[in-house]
A and B are shown apart, each in its own frame.
Chain A
Amino acid sequence: MNVVRERVSEGRPRIGMPRALMFYRYYPFLKALLEGFGCEVVASPPTNLRIMGMGTDLCVDDVCVAVKALFGHVRYLEGKVDYMLIPRLVSVEKKEYDTFTCPKLIAAPDMVRFSFPQLPPPLEFVVDVSKVPWWWGCLRLGRRLGVPLRGIARAYAAATREQRRFEALQREGLLPADALKRMENGNGLPSPGYASADRDVTVAVVGHPYLLGDSLVNKRLIHWLDSSGARVLASTMLSPRELEVEARKLPDLSWSYEWELLAASSHFLEKEGVDGLIYLTSFGCGPDSLVTEMVRREVPNPHKRAIMDLVLDEHSAESGVRTRAEAFVDLLRHRKTARPPGVLTR
């Protein structure tokens, strides 16, 4: 089926990308891909209170805050675009056992399709690496938009380059939102304060990119850590190779993204120079409710580093997160100075 012919508006098809969930992981890839397909990509703005409010109103009440944000963004884009692109991530890696992402990522297009019956069904970008290779999803999306094979291959190559650039920026110590900004505006932007190495305390934040990247959802946690004078490392800054090293210490887990968080926790709890760990999670996040337990009880913590769980939902208040972030940094600073020098681990 070629959706372009069914469209009402003239010119290049406008495709909306809601700034939620997997946006923070694959936006540069999907943007380059769609532009290569000859479409215009419209991303919704960073989450604001109005978008969050719409999402909370539209969505069922006991899903995680990130899915509610997705609903708000879809609502925001409604009427502004011809189609909505919602990635469907079923599995993202091949292992000896079955792997999945979260059920909500697997069913995100379905949830949107049935909650917004007035919209045309969202375009899907299906990733099911355990069954078909990654490019298969691009091919299907391209065929659906009526792009010839050669065009798909060219767009795919360009998209892969963009994604590599995005990931390289993150490895350099930028959070997803800042790396996206850097991609849009070139390298002229100043390096953010949280990335500077000359801070006395280093906090590692482990959490999904859509929580780390969305400053309304995480209530500007990174900003508060930064303003208390801490250097921030995040799980999104680690490369797959760094995570793979941790595998033998950890139990098998069928959720790929949560396995990454588990491996990142293990990495940061051992890495030199890290003082404490914040595990960022959202209320109602299914996999995280078990993975936080594993981080506390199973991941080796040889230096007895402090771990703080921070649970977010749409009722979290900025002042609450601020107080906790400041208290945590103070605690780490105190632990560092109060210990006799011989006991210091570095």
Chain B
Amino acid sequence: MKVAFPHMGNAYIPLRALVEHAGAEAVVPERPNRATLELGARYAPEFVCLPFKITLGDCINALEKGADTMAMVCGMWACRFGNYGHVQHLILRDMGYEFESLLIGREDPRAVWEKVKSAVGKGAFRRLLGAAAIFRAKAAAVEEVECLVRFARPREEKVGEADALMERYLSRIDDADSIRMVRAIRRELREEFSALPLRPEDGILRVRIVGELYVLLEPSLNFDLVRRLGSNHGVEAQPILSTYRWLLSPLWLDPLLHLSSSRARRVSRAYLPYVLGGEEHMTIAGTLDAPRQGFDGVIHAYPLTCMPENICRTILPHISSARDVPVLGLCFDEHTSTVGTATRLEAFIDMLRSRR
């Protein structure tokens, strides 16, 4: 069984570990780029949201690399994401590819379990437990690298050092094959990052990024927003969502995540009393909390026609003026240009500087 899953930021590292330790082979397509997006957009429906197109491109790449089982998270939500897997697999089958579907969350859990058991063989349950443990360890390690590099980028003496460190450590985490090794890597990583020469703090701007999960986490879609803000503009950018958060919260492996998201739901209830199925509660709560948590501004990033975030966009101007926090809305689709985004970011950062 060669299992493939679409990319999302650095999620491939823990997911690969999960699949391989469970006893199957993982097929990881190349990191998505413009070509992947164009490939996906060619076969996707015209005005579906952007993550659909890029993950469809990923699926095609994975199938070309020989995957025979396509895994995707699905669900019965008001947001379109719940139906991605179903429609993507329809399109891929019509294109002539043959594969098994593993629609986690949509199919009967027992059916998914039977599929896994037949592929893994004896002792499937124990192997899965072990796989989940290393999955969690790697997800936490990736999260730590991302946090450290986000902090270091605007402060480092020589631009690009932190990114080089991150690349090196991410590939080491990816190669590690036991929890003990991951722990050792994390220790080394902390030492190396604390040894990084940093400039003294002199009023570094802090920006929170809220919005749709995939656009927030996938650098190929948001033109590497977080790195660009850190390295080019000297701004500390903190996305409100992370790979770790997304991977672990449905599995109940970290209770803190549940606390924070139920708090977000509570805070945003005055604005959106009903669940819309996306990350709208995080967007609203993140913007509301931004001034209190020391952020100078908020960037709202989302793909064109994203339903929950569109609704947030009608509400954010209200919060922006009530809480006196500047909000920049960035809408991404396959025609968004690097230069256009860069100009708007520059203008926003200039505005934040002059406000200080």
Contact = CB atoms under 8 A, between A and B. Distances in A.
Interface string B64-96: 000000000000111110110011001100100
A292 B45 contact: yes
A283 B310 CA distance: 14
Interface in A90-142: 90, 97-104, 106-107, 110-111, 114-115, 117, 128
B159 interface: no
Contact of A289 (B76, B80, B317, B331): B80
Contacts of B82: 254
Contacts of A100: 77-78, 277
B80 A286 contact: yes
Given A284-B305, A297-B90, A290 B310 contact: no
B311 A107 contact: yes
Interface of A: 59-60, 62-63, 88, 90, 97-104, 106-107, 110-111, 114-115, 117, 128, 251-255, 283-287, 289-290, 292-294, 297-298, 311
A301 to B, nearest CB: 13
A293 B273 CA distance: 31
Given A62-B304, A292-B45, 6 more contacts: A62-B310, A98-B77, A102-B307, A106-B78, A107-B311, A290-B87
B318 A114 contact: yes
Contacts of B45: 289-290, 292-293
A293 B84 CA distance: 11
B90 A102 contact: no
Interface in B305-324: 305-308, 310-311, 313-315, 317-318
Nearest to A67: B310
Interface string B277-289: 1100000000000
A117 B318 CA distance: 9
5 contacts: A59-B314, A103-B78, A115-B314, A252-B76, A285-B47
The 5 closest A-B pairs by CB, nearest first: A100-B78, A254-B76, A286-B307, A289-B48, A103-B307
B73 to A, nearest CB: 15
Interface string B247-285: 000000000000000000000000111101110000000
Nearest to B278: A103
